[in-house]
Structure 1
Amino acid sequence: MDLRSIECFLRVAETLHFARAAEELHLSQPALSQRIRTLEREIGVVLLERNRRGVRLTAAGAAFLDPATAALARGAQAADAARRAARGLQGRLRLGFTVIASYTTLPHAVQTFRGVCPEVVVDLVEINSPAVEEALDRGTLDLGILHPPLERPHLRTRELPGEPLVLAVPAGHRLAEQPAITFADLRGEALLAAPRRIGPTLFDGLVRRFREAGGEPRIVQEATPMTTLAGLVAAGAGVGFVTRGIARATRPGVVFRPVREAPAVPMAAAWAPPGLSPAGARFLEILTAGPASES
């Protein structure tokens, strides 16, 4: 049975007058009568008795009244929920992101999104960039914030501002008081770096900068994520590159210095085809608007 027919029955039951109910429903009286007859045939009982003296509910109609009222209300709620979900205002958003992304404007965007769309449940998953791609491919994430280029080129992406790299050095290190550092200054230094498989483009870019400066990087230990790398720097294991966002989260015993011509970590939002979910699209709008536009 359709909700419109239930609404017609309820209006007649309220007014006990077909002509008045038809006017309120913006229907012709024959069309209203046809809807009631169709509803009665579907249920298999007579709901309304009509005679010259007027209209009255049958026993079956009286029993049908409260459940029909509840069904109409639930139908309206369901329709509203569907419309809100289609606008990205209700539902669930499964968001995956890297450690580096968690030190960008992403947390602020999540906070803003939760304020704008309180009925959307946000699931947050912190994993590395290849794992974000895999999860998007499997359909276990709706949106990912990761580092291109992607291993899965069929995923759709939107470029985000890159994260500049700075050098983390132990306090008291010879470079700690140097305001500007070059790659030539780093020749022979014990270097901590993420494994190439985690970010081949960034890794190769750093190696290229070292070679252009006339040397090779002396990688003494692989470390990931960058927050762990910063901890190893504090312990005196060497120097290493972290993003400017991670550097803002100050760590005792570590000094952060800019390095001339240091590459930036590329950032992008990614999702699986055929398209981004409504909640994901709304979140991406907030993320790309930036903190100044969101406040």
Structure 2
Amino acid sequence: MDIRTLACFIAVAEDLHFRRAADRMNLTQPSLSQRIRALENEIGAELFERDRRGVALTPAGAAFLGPARKAVEHANAARTQALRAVRGEVGHLRLGFTVIAFYGVLPEAVRAFRARYPDVEVDLIEMNSPLLEAALAAGDIDLGVLHPPLSTPDLIAHPLPDEPLVLALPSAHRLAEQAAIHVADLDGEPFLLAPRAIGPSIYDRVIALFQTEGLSPRIVQEVTPMTTLAGLVAAGAGLGFVTAGIARVARPGVTYRPVTPAPPSLPMAAAWREPALSASGRRFLEMVRTLVAASGS
């Protein structure tokens, strides 16, 4: 009892005319009649009375019409939902991100995505970059916004604009009066830095920045995430680099200044596990790309 045959039965029941119903279903009349006869044989009852005066529903046909309509409606609804899932308009998206990522276009992208695709359930999961890689590899999340380079095999990364770094220092610090701070000015200053295990590439590049000036940073505390680092700066624990996105959010007691030579920027990327990103993930990534392009980043 296929949906096409049920639709043929409904057409005949509504038109009470085999030829008109056949035209409506883009079938020949013999083909339509054959489908109706096969349906009656499957049910074990005649659905139509046929005589020279025309066509009429039998009591069995009248009883069958309502459920047949519902079956076709449900089948059409199921097909529509399936196609929407293929297009990424319905379903579930597990989105992982670092704290730093949420100081860029990501919050706006999530808001816009939820508004456009309200039938996609979005789970937001915050982790550091290495844990996001592990979660992607394990299939625990669909898409992660993190910091390359990636060390986990079988992950695909789509680059996003890097986040420049600026120096966070206590507002009462003597260097806060300067419009820009030279790396040499940081000699001997208590420095806060994320552990190398969290981001070995950026850690090594920050150390190299000091070494180009013949210095070694006096690291007094390793701290993550950068929002916590900014809090420690406010508490007078030291100085440290944060992203420009974090610096855009004013924090009492903290001043942000550019540094020369320029510190390394923090790379950003959207990553997923091979072989392909889910349809809803592709839709979300399109949203991020659009917002990045609009911002001119």
Deviations 1:227-247 (A, max 9, x none): 111001100000111100001
> Counterparts of 2:136 and 2:42 in 1: how far apart (Å)?
45
In structure 2, what residue type is equivalent to 1:153? P
In structure 1, what residue type is equivalent to 2:114? R
Q: Secondary structure of 2:79's partner?
A: helix
**Cα distance, 1:178 vs. partner?**
1.4
Give the alignment of 1:254-293 within 5 angstroms.
254-260=254-260, 261-290=262-291, 293=294
Deviations 1:15-72 (A, max 9, x none): 1211111111111011111222232333343323333333232332222211111111
CA contact (8 A) 1:97 1:127 kept: yes
Distance 1:136 1:44, change over 3 A: farther
Q: Count how many residue pairs are aligned between Structure 1 and Structure 2.
A: 294
> Counterparts of 1:37 and 1:185 in 2: how far apart (Å)?
92
**Cα distance, 1:291 vs. partner?**
5.4
**Cα distance, 1:98 vs. partner?**
0.5
> Counterparts of 1:239 and 1:42 in 2: how far apart (Å)?
81
After TM superposition, the structure 1 stretch with the greater mean CA deviation from structure 2, 45-54 or 32-41, is 45-54
> Counterparts of 2:271 and 2:180 in 1: how far apart (Å)?
35
> Counterparts of 2:155 and 2:47 in 1: how far apart (Å)?
56
Give the alignment of 1:192-203 within 5 angstroms.
192-203=192-203
Q: Secondary structure of 1:176's partner?
A: helix
CA contact (8 A) 2:137 2:154 kept: no
CA contact (8 A) 2:97 2:126 kept: yes
Tell me the equivalent position of 1:182. Answer: 182
CA contact (8 A) 2:143 2:270 kept: yes
TM-score between both structures, scaled by the size of structure 1: 0.95
Tell me the equivalent position of 1:67. Answer: 67
**Cα distance, 1:292 vs. partner?**
6.2
> Counterparts of 1:145 and 1:39 in 2: how far apart (Å)?
54
In structure 1, what residue type is equivalent to 2:145? I
> Counterparts of 1:214 and 1:185 in 2: how far apart (Å)?
12
CA contact (8 A) 1:109 1:291 kept: no
Tell me the equivalent position of 2:233. Answer: 233
Instruction: Report percent identity of matched pairs.
Output: 60
TM-score between both structures, scaled by the size of structure 2: 0.94
Distance 1:209 1:6, change over 3 A: same
> Counterparts of 1:293 and 1:69 in 2: how far apart (Å)?
47
After TM superposition, the structure 1 stretch with the greater mean CA deviation from structure 2, 237-246 or 26-35, is 26-35
**Cα distance, 1:200 vs. partner?**
0.6
Tell me the equivalent position of 2:54. Answer: 54
Distance 1:154 1:37, change over 3 A: same
Q: Secondary structure of 1:56's partner?
A: strand
Give the alignment of 1:1-295 within 5 angstroms.
1-260=1-260, 261-290=262-291, 293=294
In structure 2, what residue type is equivalent to 1:71? A
After TM superposition, the structure 1 stretch with the greater mean CA deviation from structure 2, 59-68 or 275-284, is 59-68
In structure 2, what residue type is equivalent to 1:215? L
> Counterparts of 2:50 and 2:133 in 1: how far apart (Å)?
65
CA contact (8 A) 2:165 2:264 kept: yes
CA contact (8 A) 2:99 2:225 kept: yes
Distance 1:127 1:69, change over 3 A: same
CA contact (8 A) 1:108 1:291 kept: no
> Counterparts of 2:192 and 2:178 in 1: how far apart (Å)?
19
After TM superposition, the structure 1 stretch with the greater mean CA deviation from structure 2, 59-68 or 250-259, is 59-68
Deviations 1:218-266 (A, max 9, x none): 1111111111110011000001111000011111000011112200110
> Counterparts of 2:48 and 2:194 in 1: how far apart (Å)?
76
What's the C-alpha RMSD, in Å, of the aligned pairs?
1.6
In structure 2, what residue type is equivalent to 1:258? P
- Structure 2: where are the runs of 5+ without partners? none
> Counterparts of 1:41 and 1:201 in 2: how far apart (Å)?
72
> Counterparts of 1:39 and 1:199 in 2: how far apart (Å)?
66
